[in-house]
Amino acid sequence: MPTALLRPVSPRMAECELTHFERQPIDVALAEKQHQDYEDALRYLGCEIVHAPALPDFPDSVFVEDCAVVLDEIAIITLPGADSRKGEIDSVATVLEKYRPLHRIEAPGVLDGGDVLRLGKKIFVGLSSRSNAEAVRQMQNVLKPFDYEVIGVHLTGCLHLKSAVTQVSIDTLLLNSEWVDANLFSNYKIIETHSDEPGAANALLLGDTVIFPLDFPQTALRLLEAGMDIYLVDNSEVIKAEGGVTCCSVVF
């Protein structure tokens, strides 16, 4: 049974970091309800849920994915690229040390988990405003004994690599080719996001089911037409905070 690590929404979520988005009002009560529905979806799809402690003074702390990269062999505790988020990692390490040996990214490396896309033994890392080549080098060193290849990837126009591309089945990726080069993933079938929905590439694959925001209906239709089994969630408040469905959990 997979485990999903989640953290409650901060009451200060409206003060979140924004990089490519204009600030919009965030309804924290609605965000809490949507987060509960997301947790219920993960449980329904077979996950055991564990919680990291709430961090009410960290507006982005619900985006727990950015704090860790969990593989079968090891968990990498990141060093988030935004200074406001560096205090989120220790409480995640305290939970994950019960499950995996830990390795920490050290400065001058910076890494957000949202930049890390694992496809089998290949790990793609977005060279974004949050993650750098030094973190890629550290990951290469620590993961080489486990036969992972770690590859830095250039991005344009989005926050994280997983804003631009995620896996939606064993052989298929959902991708916005304005933001990342689809040729990097030539071993995979590609479903493009709808041109009216550039932010729609972030989906969370659990088993054979894709958790996907109902906020992007035209891209959802493309997934359905490709035969995907999708579980729709209302993700409006997380999207305003420049987050996505992968950001709100670490599944391992």
The minimum distance between CB 226 and ligand GLY, in angstroms, equals 29
12 burial class (0-12, 13-18, 19+ CB within 10 angstroms)?
Answer: middle
Rounded to whole angstroms, how far apart are CA atoms 224 and 134? Answer: 39
Q: Is 160 a catalytic residue?
A: yes
Q: Which residues contact 135 (CB under 8 A, 6 or more apart)?
A: 78, 79, 105, 109, 110, 111, 125
The nearer residue to ligand GLY, 126 or 243, going by C-beta atoms, is 243
Could you tell me the sign of the dihedral formed by the alpha carbons of 233, 237, 240, 242, in that order?
negative
Could you tell me if 161 and 128 are in contact, meaning their C-beta atoms sit under 8 angstroms apart?
yes
The minimum distance between CB 208 and ligand GLY, in angstroms, equals 29
Q: Which two tokens stand for residue 55?
A: 């961090």
Q: Is 154 a catalytic residue?
A: no
From the list 16, 158, 247, 248, the catalytic residue is 247
The minimum distance between CB 7 and ligand GLY, in angstroms, equals 13
Residues 197-209 as b/e (b if ≥16 CB within 10 A, e otherwise) read bbbbbbbbbbeeb
* Binding footprint of ligand GLY on the chain (CB under 6 A): 16-17, 19, 60, 63, 82, 241-243
The nearer residue to ligand GLY, 114 or 152, going by C-beta atoms, is 114
The nearer residue to ligand GLY, 14 or 142, going by C-beta atoms, is 14
The nearer residue to ligand GLY, 60 or 215, going by C-beta atoms, is 60
From the list 35, 67, 158, 160, the catalytic residue is 160
Enumerate the H helices of 172-249 as residue ranges: 217-225, 236-240
The nearer residue to ligand GLY, 152 or 244, going by C-beta atoms, is 244
Closest residue to bound ligand GLY by CB: 17
Could you tell me if 116 and 125 are in contact, meaning their C-beta atoms sit under 8 angstroms apart?
yes
The minimum distance between CB 184 and ligand GLY, in angstroms, equals 23
Query: How many C-beta atoms lie closer than 10 Å to residue 70's C-beta?
Result: 22
The minimum distance between CB 242 and ligand GLY, in angstroms, equals 4
Could you tell me if 247 and 163 are in contact, meaning their C-beta atoms sit under 8 angstroms apart?
no
Give the residue numbers annotated as catalytic, written as ranges. Answer: 160, 247
